[in-house]
Amino acid sequence: MNKNQIIEEADKNLFHVYNRFPVVFDYGKGVYLYDSDDNKYLDFGSGIGVMAFGYGNEDYENALISQLKRLTHTSNLYYNQPMIEAAKKLCDASGMDKVFFTNSGAEAIEGAIKTAKKYAYNKKGPGKYEIVAMENSFHGRTVGALSITGTDHYREPFYPLMDGIDFAYFNDYGSILASINENTCAIILETVQGEGGLYPADKEFLEKVQAICQEDDILLILDEVQCGMGRTGTMFAFQQYGIKPDILTTAKALGAGVPVGAFAVTDKVAQTSLVPGDHGTTYGGNPLCTAAVSQVFDMFEKYDLLNHVNDIVPYFEQTLDRLVEKYDFVTERRGLGLMQGLVLTIPVKEVVTKALLEENLITLSAGKDVLRLLPPLVINEADIDTFKEKIERVFDTFK
């Protein structure tokens, strides 16, 4: 089938909940994707932050092929070696103590919510279930995750949602103080807001939030589904702030292409929250996905990827800063590490579309006015130069 036939067939059978671009991707190599007509696209979206190593990596593929030939699923009624190895590597990398593997970031958020509520129930009694979340945040599409997502248009069609949620303002400690009360069990925030516009947390803000959580025995949940796994230059963004959450959520690049997420907790939380029967998953932690997780951590070490990210980030930031200087409608660069955004006064969705369809450049949007850039962590200066050439040709059409 040609591209148009493929799209027509898809529209017959797929539930129309995505406005997909008219492109059918077929395979990838390095930092490039190729469509069904063999056109080559520079990928600065990496599957919304998933493909940390780009495409066609032999180490990654061989690890999955090897596990696929051995075992893909048994259920959590039994142990399996890849899950045990992946859990240890995740604990070592994050400094957390216990891990629960899920199928997605949203499921990791759901598990974090349940864990916090059970912890407060055990420690403080019934009724202590309220959560402080952030305006402008995004945590996922499930009912629980939507309930703590601070963007009205995501939530409104699905009311009533989970009650007991109060929204404070990111990087505004005063609003946190005004939101917490004796029934608050947790404060949840993204260390770097992604969908909300690429806002990193202020160090003083996070330090104060952690301090009030420790003082009042409120659990601090950090959502690093997008900003974790090396994207900001440390394995997890919170490690740049000198703090540690009580519960951490991660996904996306955790599996670098397979559907896997996790939430991790401290021993303090593990000992006073979920027990057998409280939570579960059929597929979470299956041997195939956790073999991918284990391999991902091995590849971070083998490729010295965190040092590479820190080495390449200044060049990327300088390139983006030059775009801010050159174009009046590019007003600001925001972000941390290889999680960057350009604030535009021109229609960002039109920029994303033009870049894809005219320059074969994959980018993303965040909110209404941010061009979001989440390239694979393995990009080099030549890739950034190619990106600059392509995006300048797009921007030139708006002069």
Cβ–Cβ under 8 Å, residues 327 and 251: no
CB atoms within 10 A of CB 181: 11
pLDDT in tens, 125-183: 999 999 999 999 999 999 999 999 999 999 999 999 999 999 999 999 999 999 999 99
Q: What are the tokens at 123?
A: 């420690």
Sequence-ordered list of residues with C-beta below 8 angstroms from that of 7, at least 6 positions apart, any chain: 22, 24
DSSP secondary structure letters along 10-59: HHHHS-S-S---S--EEEEEBTEEEETT--EEEESSHHHHT-TT-B--HH
User: What φ, ψ does residue 165 adopt, rounded to 5°?
Assistant: -110, 130
* pLDDT for the residue numbered 259: 97
Domain chopping of the chain, boundaries? 3-53+305-396, 59-302
Task: Give the whole-number percent of the chain exceeding pLDDT 70.
Answer: 100
* pLDDT for the residue numbered 399: 83
pLDDT in tens, 362-381: 999 998 999 999 999 999 99
Cβ–Cβ under 8 Å, residues 197 and 336: no
Cβ–Cβ under 8 Å, residues 74 and 286: yes
Cβ–Cβ under 8 Å, residues 376 and 43: yes
Question: How far out from the chain centre does Cα 205 lie?
Answer: 21
Question: How far out from the chain centre does Cα 267 lie?
Answer: 24
* N- to C-terminal Cα separation, the chain: 39
pLDDT in tens, 293-352: 999 999 999 999 999 999 999 999 999 999 999 999 999 999 999 999 999 999 999 999
pLDDT in tens, 225-257: 999 999 999 999 999 999 999 999 999 999 999
* pLDDT for the residue numbered 286: 97
Cβ–Cβ under 8 Å, residues 42 and 390: yes
Q: Are strands 192-193 and 199-200 parallel, antiparallel or unpaired?
A: antiparallel
> What is the total residue count of the chain?
399
Sequence-ordered list of residues with C-beta below 8 angstroms from that of 240, at least 6 positions apart, any chain: 232, 233, 234, 336
* pLDDT for the residue numbered 354: 97
Top CATH class, 59-302? alpha beta
User: Given the structure tokens 């972000």, which residue do they identify?
Assistant: 335
Q: What are the tokens at 194?
A: 């992604």
Beta partners for 334? Answer: 341
Closest CA to 227 of 260, 258, 198: 198
**Is 60's pLDDT higher than 90?**
yes
For the sheet containing 25-29, what is the strand order?
25-29, 32-35, 40-43, 361-362
Q: What are the tokens at 225?
A: 């589904």
The span from the CA of 158 to the CA of 147, in Å, is 9
DSSP secondary structure letters along 346-392: S-HHHHHHHHHHHH-EE-EEETTTEEEE---TT--HHHHHHHHHHHH
Cβ–Cβ under 8 Å, residues 227 and 219: no
* pLDDT for the residue numbered 2: 86
Cβ–Cβ under 8 Å, residues 93 and 235: yes
| Mean pLDDT score of the chain | 97
Q: Sorting pLDDT into bands at 50, 70 and 90, what band is 1?
A: confident
Looking at domain 3-53+305-396, its CATH superfamily turns out to be: Aspartate Aminotransferase, domain 1 (3.90.1150.10)
**Is 50's pLDDT higher than 90?**
yes
Same CATH fold, 59-302 and 3-53+305-396? no
For the sheet containing 130-134, what is the strand order?
98-102, 261-265, 247-250, 219-223, 184-190, 130-134, 165-168
Does a cis peptide bond (omega within 30 degrees of 0) precede residue 160?
yes
